[in-house]
Structure 1
Amino acid sequence: MSDRELSGDEQQQSQAQGSGEQELATRTLHIQSKRFYLDVKQNRRGRFIKVAEVGAGGKKSRLLLAMSSAAEFRDYLTEFTEHYASLDANDESPSNTENPPEDGKLKSEMIVKDNKRYYLDLKENQRGRFLRVSQTIPRGGPRSQIAIPAQGMIEFRDALTELLDEYGTDDQGEEEPQSELPESRSMRVENKMFYFDVGSNRRGVYMRVSEVRNNFRTAITIPERSWARFRDTLSEFVDKSGKKEGSQ
């Protein structure tokens, strides 16, 4: 479950026509003084994940990852997490070793995808340890980067894993035909709107239940195999509530 505050820019983007870009899912993470948004998007060229970092002062940084690159990044996050844990276990840091790593780097990896390169560096400075992820394009292309506090790497990896489990690692984002799926439903409860959307991916059919209130959105995803249990649980609560009201 995730809470997402929609900025004015994002509201305009979601309403824009003709862009050919569709947002399929999002996750919001609060790590120390930063917010991270992980958005699964799709356009004519396929699916990808946009990672946005918003610092305490409102400064924004963004990375774009193909689904296959995001899966490779997820795997590296596990390695970096394990290395970070080993450093704490051995009480090792550049400040108390005889030969501290150059530039404070504790571990580095690289991901290459088409004409893009991603440099992953676990570093340490006076403010602590963090994972810097830099995206570069050869021949003078733009460079962008984010910095994930080391303590939040597990949370970041888990959120990324959820999105990859749901939407797969295929950059083309081929979807199953939607014609036989139930139509979307919505309902208003006081000042909230609830949306029930059914979709499918390579893992099967699912229902996304979204609660929208003002500019906040919360959503859960229920696999089709769990719909009956979900319904039975709700029915049980409804029955108990009805009996309680009848006895009053």
Structure 2
Amino acid sequence: MERGSGGNDVELLCKTLQFEHKLFYFDLKENPRGRYLKISEKTSATRSTIIVPVGGIVWFVDLFNYYVNTDECDAFSKELKLDTKVFYFDVGENRRGRFLKVSEASVSRNRSTIIVPAGSSGEEGWTAFRNILHEINEEASRLYIVSNQQHMEPSEHLPGLSDDVGAGFISGHTSQPVSGSDLNVDSLVELHPQDEIGSLRMSKVIRADQKRFFFDLGSNNRGHYLRISEVSGSDRSSIILPLSGLKHFHDTIGHFVEITKDRLGGIPAVNVRTLEPVQR
């Protein structure tokens, strides 16, 4: 299949990486089921593709960071579960040098594998691959914020407003209760500030287990606000917090951090699992 084709799929961003004898294509796309990253490896004789859900790009960045920064003898195979897919990361070596084999397994398509060379003088191949993933992840986050902004600005009447959930709630596809595993906050990624509107404008995103939370500080003709958006798969919901309530919100979150802090340190990351060195 040619790049850019495929039914209702819309191409949002394209990048390429030429390294040694290989050419990698990175295509961020969108279809009615959501956004995804198609990574294709092309050599003179073969072409192979893996499909990564958009929420999994940041996990790929973390795993490539792990292999870039871990000594050869200490690097273990890893297994990453994303939605209905499982990705396997295995380090190998041949006459060309070290490489990272990334395999995708799912019920909907045959197993597919790409091979990323480490490089002859270190891990420059893995580093370049990771850097492109990082750029795409930041751009995907920015595109999400921009594309949803017009639907999520505070107004006189908020869609999905309900007395049961409180003012400012915009319903997504579902409203799931928060479980204990959601307390595992893995990392914080700061996005590039957008153009200023009024005197305040900035965005941040964090991820916790399978969910991502976007924090957008903005303003409109009614004043400043903080919009907090939860994204889990294709489900999205948001709350709009007036700036006047921000300190009380902060104090309340701090209260729950204090009473649960003895549990937070021991919660493992459930997405990534280290594998024993066996043949699959």
TM range (shorter): 0.5 to 0.7
Equivalent in the alignment of 2:132:
159
Rounded to whole Å, the distance in 1 between the matches of 2:49 and 2:62 is: 20
Report runs of 4+ in structure 1 exceeding 6 Å deviation. 169-173
Equivalent in the alignment of 2:66:
79
- Give runs of aligned pairs for residues 58-97 of structure 1, distance below 5 A: 59-83=46-70, 86-87=71-72
Contact 2:24 2:42 in 1 (8 A): yes
Equivalent in the alignment of 1:124:
93
Tell me the CA shift for residue 203 of structure 1. Answer: 6.0
Rounded to whole Å, the distance in 1 between the matches of 2:34 and 2:145 is: 4
The alpha-carbon distance between structure 1 residues 166 and 126, as it changes in their structure 2 partners (threshold 3 A), is same
Rounded to whole Å, the distance in 2 between the matches of 1:111 and 1:170 is: 25
Work out the percentage of aligned pairs sharing the same amino acid: 28
Rounded to whole Å, the distance in 2 between the matches of 1:49 and 1:141 is: 16
Rounded to whole Å, the distance in 1 between the matches of 2:53 and 2:30 is: 10
The alpha-carbon distance between structure 1 residues 124 and 150, as it changes in their structure 2 partners (threshold 3 A), is same
Work out whether 1:135 is the aligned partner of 2:139: no
Contact 1:106 1:124 in 2 (8 A): no
Q: Equivalent residue of 1:176, what SS?
A: helix
Equivalent in the alignment of 2:18:
30
Q: Equivalent residue of 1:129, what SS?
A: strand
* Pairwise CA RMSD: 3.1
Q: Equivalent residue of 1:142, what SS?
A: coil
Contact 1:67 1:169 in 2 (8 A): no
Output the amino acid matched with 2:50.
L
Equivalent in the alignment of 2:117:
149
Output the amino acid matched with 1:66.
P
1:111 to 80, 92, 99: 80
Rounded to whole Å, the distance in 2 between the matches of 1:112 and 1:66 is: 11
Equivalent in the alignment of 1:99:
none
Rounded to whole Å, the distance in 2 between the matches of 1:143 and 1:203 is: 39
The alpha-carbon distance between structure 1 residues 203 and 108, as it changes in their structure 2 partners (threshold 3 A), is farther
The runs of 5 or more residues in structure 2 that have no matched partner are: 120-124, 152-190, 196-280
Rounded to whole Å, the distance in 2 between the matches of 1:124 and 1:45 is: 38
Contact 2:79 2:88 in 1 (8 A): yes
Describe the superposition over 1:170-204 as per-residue Cα deviations: whole angstroms up to 9, x where unpaired: 999963339xxxxxxxxxxxxxxxxxxxxxx9964
1:175 to 148, 157, 165: 148
How many residues are matched? 151
Higher relative contact order (CA 8 A, sep 6+): 1
Output the amino acid matched with 2:139.
E
Q: Equivalent residue of 2:44, what SS?
A: coil
Tell me the CA shift for residue 126 of structure 1. Answer: 2.6
Output the amino acid matched with 1:29.
L
Q: Equivalent residue of 2:69, what SS?
A: helix
Output the amino acid matched with 2:131.
D
Tell me the CA shift for residue 106 of structure 1. Answer: 5.0
Contact 1:53 1:61 in 2 (8 A): yes
Work out whether 1:9 is the aligned partner of 2:21: no
Output the amino acid matched with 1:63.
I
